[in-house]
Amino acid sequence: MNKKLLDEMNIQINKEIYSGYLYLAIAAYFEDQNLAGFAHWMRMQAGEELEHGMKFFDFLVDRGKRVDLQAIEKPGSDFSSPTEVFKQVLEHEQYVTSRINLLYELAVNEKDYATQVFLNWFVDEQVEEEKNASEILGYLERVGDSGNALLMLDQRLKSRGED
């Protein structure tokens, strides 16, 4: 693994952990809005993102590479509505997808097959992440940010993880 790919993999650890931190900030917003289902969904999402960061961490360790942790940026905490939150979530997931694509491109250019195989899981995962955010955003755009339909969606999101 060349230095450029290693540096970008270390940056990705930071981006994944930041994603978890961002989703915890959003969970706090939803808790404040008495939307426990949305908060639950975001807490679970935060946990997934932290796991993703650890997958990168462990991969580098397994490859005998040095993990170089960096400071985690403080996420914003001033959110205006559930719809605006999910617009931000979708944009954030699209950004993460662009980061995964960059890593994959670097691995292909270097002919680093082990990293390509590792990143395949993340390519698939980002399709799912964008789909989930887009789906919830679509519901919110149809029902708006207040009323019975929002509360019904809140109840639906509370069931995440019960599969």
81 lies in some domain: yes
Which residues, 6+ apart, have CB-to-CB distance to 155 below 8 Å?
37
Query: Tokens for 64?
Result: 């005998």
pLDDT at residue 145 in the model:
73
| Number of domains the chain is built from | 1
pLDDT mean values, one per 10 residues, the chain (163 residues): 96 97 97 95 96 98 97 92 95 98 98 98 96 95 85 87 63
pLDDT at residue 163 in the model:
58
129 lies in some domain: yes
61 lies in some domain: yes
108 lies in some domain: yes
**HEC readout, 26-64:** HHHHHHHCCCHHHHHHHHHHHHHHHHHHHHHHHHHHHCC
**CATH number of the domain residue 118 falls in:** 1.20.1260.10
Distance CA 12, CA 17 (A): 8
pTM of the model: 0.92
163 lies in some domain: no
Domain coverage including residue 110: 3-158
pLDDT at residue 160 in the model:
72
Which residues, 6+ apart, have CB-to-CB distance to 128 below 8 Å?
none
141 lies in some domain: yes
Q: Are 121 and 85 in contact (CB under 8 A)?
A: no
pLDDT at residue 77 in the model:
83
103 lies in some domain: yes
- Cβ atoms < 10 Å from Cβ of 85: 23
pLDDT at residue 161 in the model:
66
Rg, Å, the chain Cα set: 17
154 lies in some domain: yes
